[in-house]
Amino acid sequence: MSQELTSLPESFAAGTTVTYRKQLSDYPAGDGWTFTLYLAGANVAKVEATTEDDDFIITIDASTTDGIAAGLYHYAERVSKDGAVYEVDAGVVTLLPDLTKATDQSAQEWTERAIEALRAHIEGRLPSGMESYSIAGRAVSKLPLREAVSMLRTLEAQLERLKHPGAVGDTIYVEFTKPGWET
């Protein structure tokens, strides 16, 4: 059995249920305080807590996040009673995509799609090296090859950082041998 949550997790997937218990000694549920969670990002959601003794039980139903856009959401937890409203916590939560509704490339990182497009752009232009042309008074310009290659390198490095968070720079393998030894 999993441990009961006492706060909103840093991230959770859309279309899933999240439940946590909040104990607020200054605002006990038994004294008539109510608790509301507000989420605001690409979409908005409002969740009213239930009570158990002096605790608040916050349940974000799967239906609340079903179909809303993944991304960063600001949240605010507020208590209220007799017209008084206090914010007891606030922050940012990441709503992850609902992978059960994924389609081809829908969960692919933007960086991956951009790299794919840049590679196709570079490969398609290499034989002719043409950067602009004009036909019947209409001019078309393309991203210069040097800029496309530079952008590609930058995006590939960015993708590596996404794949390996916390890693610093490129991995360099070194082998030490005794003087006079050849490998």
Answer yes or no: is 169 within a domain.
no
Q: Are residues 119 and 94 in the same domain?
A: no
State whether 68 and 139 are in the same domain.
Answer: no
Q: Are 13 and 98 in contact (CB under 8 A)?
A: yes
The sign one gets for the Cα dihedral 25, 28, 30, 31 is positive
The dihedrals phi and psi of 85, each to the nearest 5 degrees, come to -130, 130
Residue corresponding to tokens 């692919």? 108
Model confidence over 1-29: pLDDT tens digits?
Answer: 568 999 999 999 999 999 999 999 999 99
94 and 123 housed in the same domain: no
What's 108's DSSP letter? S
In DSSP terms, which residues pair with 85 in a beta bridge? Answer: 80
pLDDT beyond 70 at 172: yes
Does residue 37 sit in the same domain as residue 82? yes
| 40 in a structural domain | yes
| 100 contact partners, CB below 8 Å, separation of at least 6 | 15
Q: Is the pTM of this model over 0.85?
A: no
| Judgement on whether residues 19 and 50 belong to the same structural domain of the protein | yes
- Check: CB of residue 7 under 8 Å from CB of residue 22: yes
Where in the sequence is the domain holding 141, given as residue range(s)?
Answer: 108-163
Residue 144 lies in a domain: yes
CATH number at residue 47: 2.60.40.10
Residue-wise pLDDT for 67-111, tens only, equals: 888 889 999 999 999 999 999 999 999 999 888 877 776 667 778
Residues 65 and 17 placed together within one structural domain of the fold: yes
User: Do 121 and 55 belong together in one domain?
Assistant: no
Same domain for 61 and 124, yes or no, is no
32 and 94 both lie in a single domain: yes
User: If residue 84 lies in a helix (H) or strand (E), which one and from where to where?
Assistant: strand 84-96
The DSSP symbol for 5 reads B
Say what the pLDDT of residue 126 is: 47
109 CA to centre of own chain: 10
State how many domains the chain has.
2
